[in-house]
Amino acid sequence: MTTAASPACIVCGGAESAGLYEGLLQCAACGYVFADVRLSDAEFHDLYKKGYFFGEEYQDYLKDKETLQKNFRLRLDELAPFLDPARHKRLFEIGCAYGFFLDAARPRFERVSGMDVAEDGVAHARSLGLDAASGDFLTRDFGSEKFDVVTMWDTIEHLKSPHLFLEKAAGLLLKGGLVAITTGDIESLNARVQKDKWRLIHPPTHAHYFSTRTLSKLLDRLGFEVVSAGHCGFYRSVDNAAYNIFTLRQKRPWIYDLIAKSGLGRLDFYLNLYDIMYVIARKK
């Protein structure tokens, strides 16, 4: 494929990229993959209005709360061995959506708070008594406030400038603080076999495609030491899985309607395709 000049790679600073799949470019130096999209900050934010959670990406995010919280409890359990109760007391979540993770995390920390561009989601989180704010994390003034843990659950791939989010998170963390991230692994076996049909390739909402290698490289450059890098499974409700497959992808909503009417949608299942990575890094 033709190699061309492009904006500097956010991982290694390289200036050359080549087409990987339609709509995706890959850094010629380090292999980091990103979507060839040119959206303003406002246009990025507009992607995550209420419709994203009700009809566009999820059939009904609130209805899926129980299944989603199963995933968040799994993430907490995997994070727990790296937490020191004496020093990791204040947690901040980037991309807190409707507050389901913060709600699950409350019993484990002295303070939990978060932020999201989804105003409807933040309003729901606040109705649960959570400290959640809407707006742009990059422009928010935190003053002298510091945190011990920053989490980004399936969020980094959605951001316009993920390196700037991590850079700011590093500034908000005390030395020894942790950042915990889940996102798709573009170098996983499943992604390499599926190629451009991999289920996690859908720009512009997924704009960045890291691997364990490239995400670790970026974290190291920003002052973090990776202490854990692996792959994690997840729970999915039959309802949400069927909606994504039959309504959004195959455009056969009648099959989804049959499943919904049968009552099977209330069930959920666990799956690990080893293509979602879970990376924990400590601020140096």
- pLDDT tens per residue across span 137-147: 999 999 999 99
User: Can you give the C-alpha Rg of the chain in angstroms?
Assistant: 19
Which distant-in-sequence residues (6+ apart) come within 8 Å of 224 by Cβ?
Answer: 166, 170, 179, 281, 282, 283, 284
Specify whether the CB–CB gap between 208 and 159 falls below 8 A: yes
How far apart CA 24 and CA 203 sit, in angstroms, is 8
146-194: per-residue pLDDT in tens? 999 999 999 999 999 999 999 999 999 999 999 999 999 999 999 999 9
Confidence label for 45 from pLDDT (cuts 50, 70 and 90): confident
Does the pLDDT at position 44 exceed 90?
no
Looking at residue 42, what is its pLDDT?
84
Nearest CA to 219 among 177, 190, 188, 158?
Answer: 177
As a whole number, mean pLDDT of residues 10-36 equals: 95
User: What confidence score (pLDDT) does residue 6 get?
Assistant: 64
Instruction: Give the pLDDT band of residue 132 (cuts 50, 70, 90).
Output: very high
Please say whether the beta carbons of 98 and 72 come within 8 A.
Answer: no
Residue 181 forms beta bridges with which residues? 152, 279
CA distances from 38 to 35, 165, 180, 202, 222 (A): 9, 18, 28, 15, 25
Q: What is the pTM (predicted TM-score) of this model?
A: 0.94
